[in-house]
Amino acid sequence: MNQFEIEIPNEKKKTYNIVTFIILTLNFVGFGYVLIQTSGYFSLIATIGLLLHAIAWFYYLLNKKHISSPNIEISIILNAILWLFFGNIWLGVFQIFFGIFGFFANKPTIIKFSNVGIYYPSFPVKKYTWQQLNQVILKDNVLSLDFENNTFLQFELGKTIAEKFDTISFNTFCKNHVTKNK
C-alpha cells in the first residue's frame, strides 16, 4: 500500500461543544428578551430565533448521545443573520466566524502516511518527512511518532478504528520508510 490514513480522536471537540452550548443558551436568552421587549417585525424575528434554538438544542442533545445529526453551525450562522437584521453587527459577525470555525473544528482528525511523509491535520497542515523520524509504530491501539528532535507524539485510537486497521502492514510500511531514509 502507498498510503495509510489513521483517524485520531479530536480532543478539542468537547471544548468546542461546551462553548457551542453556551452560545446557544445566550442566544436563546437574547431572543427571548427581544421577544418580550418588542413587537411587530422584531418580535417575529425573535420568534424565529427562538424556534431555531429549539431545533438547535434538539440536535445538540442528539449529538451528545452520539446520534448522527446535522451541523449545529448552520443554526448558529442563521442566528447570526437574525442578529444582523436587528442591527447588532458585531454579534452577528462573531457568530458567523464561530459557525465557520465549527465546520473545521468538528471534522475528523486524520493523519496521512504516504511515501513522501506524514501529513498532520493542523492549521496549517504540518508535513513531516521520513528523515525527521526515528520511529513510527502502532501497538496496542496507540500510535507513537518519535522524531529526531526528541519530540514524541502519542495518540490513542478508538477501538472501532483500531479493529479495522491493518497494524502489521502499517508498521512494516513505516519501518521501511524510516530505515530507507536514514
Give pLDDT, residue 94: 92
**Cα(59)–Cα(23) distance, integer angstroms:** 15
Distances (CA, A) of 98 to 60, 72, 78, 105: 16, 11, 12, 10
* pTM for this prediction: 0.70
What percentage of residues in the chain have a pLDDT greater than 70? Answer: 93
CATH of 109-180 among 2.30.29.30, 2.60.120.380, 1.10.150.120, 3.40.50.300 = 2.30.29.30
Segment 36-92, tens digit of pLDDT: 888 888 888 888 888 888 887 777 777 666 655 567 788 888 888 988 988 889 999
- What residue ranges do the domains of the chain occupy? 13-105, 109-180
Close Cβ partners of 175 (under 8 Å, ≥ 6 residues apart): 136
Provide the pLDDT confidence category of residue 157 given band limits of 50, 70 and 90: confident
Give pLDDT, residue 112: 93
Instruction: Give mean pLDDT, residues 135-163.
Output: 86
For residue 150, give the C-alpha cell: 526528541
